[in-house]
Amino acid sequence: MEQLEQNRRHPLDGLQIAAAVCVAALVICELVLLTQVFRSHRSRGMRVQATEEVRVTPPPAASNAAPAIATGAVTARTATASQPVLNPALKIQQVQRDGAALELQLRAQTGETEFAATASRVSVEWRLADGSTRLEWIAVPVAWENFTVKTLAARYDGSMALLRGFTVRTFYRQKLQDMMTTEIPTP
């Protein structure tokens, strides 16, 4: 008789049912999230959205110092750098140009616990029709958390008829992290 009572199952109570529903919902949510991640197309390099044609010049493979502008550029509307830094700490997300103004969206993503904004620098090199360049350093916000995007602005103060293009470079701890070059078509 005692064995018969030991073999008998206990009825399910409300907490057990609620826990099973929560676990099932969690598994379904994880599957939906993973499906979205694997379905989205991500380029290996950077993704640039601009209103004009974009020329991307990859940074040189041998050096992480601030390079001169390379001549072998690839033209595309949305382009990727062929040799980006493996894991850039300060990545160019998007560059939009409206006349003489640039809007730069940059993402801080270091492998460190905190992003050292004071160790980051951003430059815009304006290329002019006579072959000369003007270098402008953009102020980086001191309060910048890791894995967040900030929007910075730059403005060309000269004649728009002379402007032929620009190069945006990001540096972190004095090493080149990302670079994007845009040619402006002559009117």
List residues bridging with 94 in a β-sheet: 105
Query: In CATH, what is the architecture of 54-183?
Result: Sandwich (2.60)
One pLDDT digit (tens) per residue for the chain, 187 residues = 555 566 677 788 889 999 999 999 999 999 999 888 888 765 444 444 444 444 444 444 444 444 333 333 333 333 334 445 557 889 999 999 988 899 999 999 887 778 888 999 999 999 999 999 999 999 999 888 888 999 999 999 988 889 999 999 999 988 999 999 999 887 6
Task: For residue 153, give the nearest of 185, 184, 124, 116 by alpha carbon.
Answer: 124
Contacts of 123 by beta carbon, 8 Å cutoff, 6+ apart: 66, 135, 136, 137, 138, 168, 169, 171
- Domain chopping of the chain, boundaries: 2-39, 54-183
Euclidean distance between CA atoms 87 and 79, whole angstroms: 18
